[in-house]
Structure formats: structure tokens, C-alpha cells
Structure 1
Amino acid sequence: MHQVKLEEAEYEWDQTIADVDIVIHVPKGTRAKSLQVDMSNHDLKIQINVPERKVLLSGPLEKQINLDESTWTVEEQERLVIHLEKSNKMEWWSCVIKGHPSIDIGSIEPENSKLSDLDEETRATVEKMMLEQSQKRTDEQKRKDVLQNFMKQHPELDFSNVRDQI
């Protein structure tokens, strides 16, 4: 989880390649009806109305979200958990709200995923790449086998420069 502490907002967030999860600690006993969560494809505004009206987080999102798949809930009456489903499931976010502290997305180590987790188009592309890689390995192995066989049949020839390539 990445912690963000600003004068106007304090929250933790984490992400996968497909979604972003935000956790905001709220006063113990907070119920969903005392919160106002306004989400659009590009913006997020979270406000608590008890004991007084206070904006907890507000601003334009780093990237676009799929609003229909994004949700929020109050857990144990002390944590607001917001789940944002990314519109582009092939990119990392450097922050949640534009202008808030960024993370180095180059240092993110993605979790292992299964081909079945990918959308059809992405899966087809990955399967094609895997097949091409497999064929390349097979072709390389065939060349090595032919060369080794040739070397066995012709021990009188000098293959000292070739041995490093086998």
C-alpha cells in the first residue's frame, strides 16, 4: 500500500494492472449514509457529513475509470474502501489524484497472471507471441541438432570456433 499524507487528504492505495483500491480511515462508527462518494470516469470526491461536513479526498483521477465496475463500501465502520476499475487495464497509475504524490511505476513488479485473466484481444496477442517464441526455440534447437550431427560425422574438421555457439 502507498500512503499519501497531505493537509487536505490522507489515504492509502494500491493497484493491480486492472484496478486501484483506496483506503481512507474514517471515525469509528461511520456509516455509509454519513458519506457522500461522487465518482465519474475522470473525477473522485469523497465527503463525510458527520460530525461536520468535510471533504476527505477530491480531484481529477490520474487515469479514466470504468464507472459501472467501480464500487465503495465502509468496512467495520472505520474504513472507507473504494475500488476503481481501470478503463485501460494495461497501464499503471503513478498516483490516484492528479497532483498528489507519485510513485515510480518503473519499480512495480506485476503479479503473475493467467492467460484466462486477460481479455480476448490481449490473450490472442500473448498466445501468438508465445507460439512465435516456441517456434523460434524449436528452430534454434533443430539448427543445433543438425550442427552437432554434422560435427559427429566429420571429426576431421576443426569446429573449435563453433563449439561456443552450441
Structure 2
Amino acid sequence: MSDSRSKSPTPSERERKDAEDRKREQEEQEKLPYKWTQTLNEAEVNVPIPGNLKSRDLIVDIKKTHLKVQIKGQDPIIDGDTPHPLSVDDSTWTLTTTPQNTKEIVLSLAKSVGSNWWPHIVTTAPKIDVTKIVPENSKLSDLDGETRGMVEKMMYDQEMKRQGKATSDEQQKQDLLKKFMAEHPEMDFSQAKIG
């Protein structure tokens, strides 16, 4: 009688499968008529075109959930829905000349607030495995004020705990108690505990 349960792959089998998946994914991406990269906030798409074309020869249409790039009179190079909404007002495109004297359309697509890693630029294109993305390190200066304040407070509190000192919240409670004690000298605080 054979065991019908499937056993989980060994680390080497998993590694081999990951390598095969990465190779397949890379081959699929290389077949696309464009190259693309992304951060959590934006995606950049580079579409190579013949060097004799000018912007008036192109149709570039960036909508909230749809993207179209086309040379007039030809089939679209990109024409499909985006996996997540775009911030159209913050998205741009330019026509640049490359060092090889060819041209490319460069689209800077601003992802809508709260967006995440995209598996593809348009939903009709092959997907990438977003779980394998290693994000670039963020700098505190990249964060908005409120988020930056929260991160700095967390970093401070973590360092204070490491040193065995009071965190910012604990320090705030101690300061409030000291102020209250100073304002009420008639009260006995000898048994007071901060919890």
C-alpha cells in the first residue's frame, strides 16, 4: 500500500525549484517589449523604440487603472489594466535618447497611496513572485513626518529598553507623577507604584 500523502520538499529540492522559478520568471520578463523596476511608491517602465521617432509619433495614455503605450499606426506595445490603481497626477512619461543613439519611453508611474509590490505592470503580462522581492533600505528622511516620528520613537524606546532605562511612555508617566506630586505636597506618595 503506497503512502498517498505528499512529503514536503527537502531544502535542496526547494532551492532547485526556486532557482527554476527565478530562471523562468527572468526569461518571461526578458521577452517583454519593455523593462521595468519598482519601489513601494512607484514603478518605472522603459520602452525601447526606434531612434527616428518623436513624441508626436506616440500614444502614451496613463489612466488610474489602465496603461497604453503605442507607436501611432502600430499595435500597442503596452495596453492593459494595472494590478493596482495609479496616482495619475503624479505619473509622468518622457522620451529620451539612449547612449546607443536609440530612444526609449520612460514612464514613472506613481502608485496610489497604500499600494504594494506589483506582480506585473499590466495584468496581461507574466507575473513575478513578489514574495522574493528584497526591498531597498528606506532612509528615515524618505518617510512622511508622522511615520518618521513613530519610527524614531520606536527606535528610541528600543534603545532605552536595551540600556535598561525608561521608554518614552514610561518617562512620560514618571514626569506626570512628579508634576502631580509637586502640585500636591499634602498627599503621601510613599506607597505609589507606576504600572
Q: Same fold (TM over 0.5)?
A: yes
Q: 2:145 aligns with which of 120, 127, 130?
A: 120
CA contact (8 A) 1:4 1:101 kept: no
TM superposition score normalised by structure 2: 0.62
After TM superposition, give the deviation of residue 138 of structure 1 in Å.
Answer: 1.8
CA contact (8 A) 1:37 1:46 kept: yes
Equivalence for 1:54:
75
Equivalence for 1:5:
31
Query: Is 1:96 matched up with 2:121?
Result: yes
Equivalence for 2:54:
31
Distance 1:4 1:121 in 2: 40
CA contact (8 A) 1:94 1:103 kept: yes
Once the two structures are superposed, what CA deviation does each residue of 1:36-84 show, in whole Å capped at 9, x if it has no partner? 11111111111111xx332110111111111111100111152111110
CA contact (8 A) 2:84 2:115 kept: no
Structure 2: which 5+ residue stretches go unaligned?
1-25, 166-195
TM superposition score normalised by structure 1: 0.72
Once the two structures are superposed, what CA deviation does each residue of 1:138-164 show, in whole Å capped at 9, x if it has no partner? 228xxxxxxxxxxxxxxxxxxxxxxxx
**RMSD value, Cα:** 2.0
SS in 2 for 1:131: helix
Structure 1: which 5+ residue stretches go unaligned?
141-166
Q: What is the one-letter code of the residue matched to 1:117?
A: D
Distance 1:62 1:4 in 2: 20
Greater strand fraction, Structure 1 or Structure 2? 1
Moved over 3 A (4+): none
Greater helix fraction, Structure 1 or Structure 2? 2
CA contact (8 A) 1:61 1:98 kept: yes
Q: 1:90 to 1:61 in 2, by over 3 A?
A: closer
Is 84-93 or 18-27 further displaced after alignment? Answer: 84-93
CA contact (8 A) 1:41 1:67 kept: yes
Distance 2:149 2:116 in 1: 18
Tell me the number of residue pairs that the alignment of Structure 1 and Structure 2 aligns. Answer: 134
**Correspondences of 1:13-92 after superposition (within 5 Å):** 13-49=36-72, 52-76=73-97, 78-88=103-113, 91-92=116-117
CA contact (8 A) 2:67 2:82 kept: yes
After TM superposition, give the deviation of residue 132 of structure 1 in Å.
Answer: 2.5
Q: 1:93 to 1:121 in 2, by over 3 A?
A: farther
Query: Is 1:139 matched up with 2:172?
Result: no
